[in-house]
């Protein structure tokens, strides 16, 4: 489980082209906002993704990359991205291996978790927000922290 203040595990997902994508490919270059969501094209997940889309330029200007993850396959992600004009990467987590490594639990043991992590450039988890229903708050909290991380002086 990825706890605040600890290094994020270097999990591997499946990218849009079907290639394996490691979290370490992004960590170290930028702050990473990694958000897990239950399913493409569902009401809450669409609202959350569109909220990240609408704030994406703010995340980029603050030095962060947004990455969405669900168990859906690449074809589903491609359709979801096109339908909602999502500018960020969507990765697949077949079997929930990445979610498990990061401690993303299913709600009521049935619904895939909705958890957002902010991972700083050093690979340390700085924030974790877990809520199935407050979908826009995932974006608000992550953006506020990213702006704070990128403006604080280096230690």
Active-site residue list: 45
CA-CA-CA-CA torsion sign (92, 95, 99, 105): positive
For strands 64-70 and 31-36, give the pairing. Answer: parallel
Bridge partners, residue 116, by sequence:
35, 129
Return the ∠ at Cα 121 (arms to 113 and 84), rounded to 5°.
Answer: 45
Give φ, ψ of 65 to 5 degrees: -115, 135
CA distance 11 to 125: 13
CA-CA-CA-CA torsion sign (35, 39, 43, 46): positive
CA distance 63 to 149: 9
């Amino acid at each position: 489980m990825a706890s605040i203040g600890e290094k994020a595990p270097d999990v591997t997902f499946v990218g849009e082209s079907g290639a394996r994508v490691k979290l370490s490919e992004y960590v170290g270059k930028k702050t990473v906002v990694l958000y897990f969501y239950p399913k493409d094209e569902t009401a809450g997940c669409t609202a959350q993704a569109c909220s990240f889309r609408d704030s994406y330029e703010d995340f980029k200007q603050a030095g962060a990359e947004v990455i969405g993850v669900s168990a859906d396959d690449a074809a589903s992600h491609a359709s979801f991205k096109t339908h909602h004009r999502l500018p960020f990467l969507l990765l697949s987590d077949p079997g929930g291996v990445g979610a498990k490594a990061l401690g993303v639990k299913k709600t009521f043991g049935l619904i895939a978790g909705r958890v957002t992590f902010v991972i700083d450039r050093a690979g340390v988890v700085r924030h974790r927000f877990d809520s199935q229903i407050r979908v826009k708050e995932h974006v608000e909290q992550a953006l506020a922290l990213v702006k704070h991380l990128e403006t604080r002086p280096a230690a």
